[in-house]
A = this chain, B = another copy of it.
Amino acid sequence: MDKTQFDLVVIGAGSTGENVADRAARGGLSVAVVENGLVGGDCSYWACMPSKALLRPGEALRAAEGVAGTAAAVSGALDVDAVLRRRDSFASGWDDSGQVEWLEGAGLVLVRGTGRITGEREVTVDTDGGGQQVLRARHAVAVCTGTEPLVPGIEGLREARPWTSKDATSAEAVPDSLVVIGGGVVACELATAFADLGAGVTVVARSGLLGSMEPFAGEAVVARLRERGVEVLLDASARRVTRDDGAVTVETDDGRRVVAAEVLVATGRRPRTGGLGLAAVGLAEDEYPEVDDTMRVVGSDWLYAVGDVNGRVLLTHQGKYQARAAGDVIAARAAGGVVDDAPWGLHVATADHRAVPQVVFSDPQVASVGLSSAAAREQGLNVSVAEFELGDVAGAGLHRDGYEGHACLVVDEDRSVVVGATFVGPDVAELLHAATIAVVGEVPLERLWHAVPAYPTMSEIWLRLLEAHGRPRSD
């Protein structure tokens, strides 16, 4: 085999790139994967895995403390060092040899270095060894480089050496105090994690928390953070940041000052496209490349952008979903096979538009899929919203004393299907997939009445939500 010619060249060996490559290889293609960091990408080392590893111990402890009879067996404090060591192990000690082994076992060729597009179906790699290698792709190039933290232009921020999510998830010690700038998922999760681990935490958010979700979600997280002693400043913009004597001071627009040992910036992401050579093929360097539902860049017949880098949805699982479609369609197109790109077909990522699930592992957890009620109304749907207190479900009360939570279903009345769902409360993460299947499957409400939740589980919220919606009578 010519070591510089492949059917497909993938740039970026994160979870998305790995899945594009794997699916294409299973479809019979030869694949090279170019990576300038750790094989496995952000999710494995600096996002999902380490952040959830930091969050799970506090969650398990609270669950035990929340049950009379169990609470007495709990002394109340996490072993911070053990939590950090456990996190290290979930981040594989930031060693990618396990993933490299998988990748090579899957028949993929790993090229370590920084790849850039230097022509049609051509990727030039500045290899880690210091050399250069030109890879030619017979069929396609897939860019799967993800995103990087956006550090906003706040006065003094860069000079204050802020943490990004990468620093926070890989922290070797817990600072005494931490100020978090931002109000999205990363801000909520890391504020929760560091509060769990004993840091004094302040959150500075421009508006509320989790702004794109149902309002009750962010409100519940704010309330609980405050209950636990986290200071949450809402409608507060950081205006200036200074660092001296090891402490960081964040000043807000309205004159408040927060002093902490570290500052974490969690104000969004931008595509990791710098230096990728997109300009060489007529694309903007700093924008999310526009793709069709097969993840092919609009206007190209060989270039794909898959996962976070295309900006459709910045979530690991959705990137992997896109990757399965893209890997399969690249193989199908290479073979001259049938392309199944109708909505919900084999080769498209239709769910990106309709049913993106997301779990925020904050306290309480927030799990949502599909449209929020506001978004559904904006789309002009004939919407009804069914709501119910999760704490009034027997299974939730059994799960934890004084359980507090809330859930809603967003129903498109014209089609009689669920188009969105949100669950807020302790340990709601696993309630979500039922909603995802209902939304994706477009299961009519009339049929959902026959999907009986087992008693007494928390899933009985489904019955309560259907009752809140009301069941049509035949007469």
Using a CB–CB cutoff of 8 Å, the interface residues on chain A facing chain B are 27, 43, 48-49, 52-53, 56-58, 60-61, 63-64, 66-80, 82-86, 90, 315-318, 320-321, 324, 328, 331-332, 335, 337-340, 344, 346-347, 350-351, 355-359, 367, 394-395, 397-399, 401, 427, 429-434, 436-441, 443, 446-460, 462-463, 471-475
Contacts and interface: CB of A to CB of B under 8 A. Distances in A.
A9 to B, nearest CB: 22
Contact of A49 (B427, B436, B456, B460): B456
Q: Across the A-B interface, give the 7 residue pairs with the lowest CB-CB distance, nearest first.
A: A337-B475, A69-B83, A441-B443, A64-B64, A317-B455, A433-B459, A57-B69
A83 B72 CA distance: 10
A70 B82 CA distance: 8
Contacts of A359: 454, 457
Q: Which of A56, A321, A358, A447 has the most CB of B within 10 A?
A: A56
Contacts of A53: 398
Contacts of A455: 43, 48, 315-317, 320
A53 B70 CA distance: 12
28 contacts: A43-B455, A49-B456, A53-B398, A60-B63, A60-B66, A61-B73, A68-B79, A69-B86, A70-B79, A72-B79, A328-B473, A331-B475, A332-B473, A335-B475, A338-B475, A339-B474, A340-B474, A346-B446, A351-B450, A395-B429, A430-B430, A433-B451, A433-B454, A433-B457, A436-B451, A437-B437, A437-B448, A441-B451
Contacts of A399: 56
A452 to B, nearest CB: 5
A472 B346 contact: yes
A287 B244 CA distance: 83
Contacts of A346: 446, 449, 471-474
A401 B69 CA distance: 23
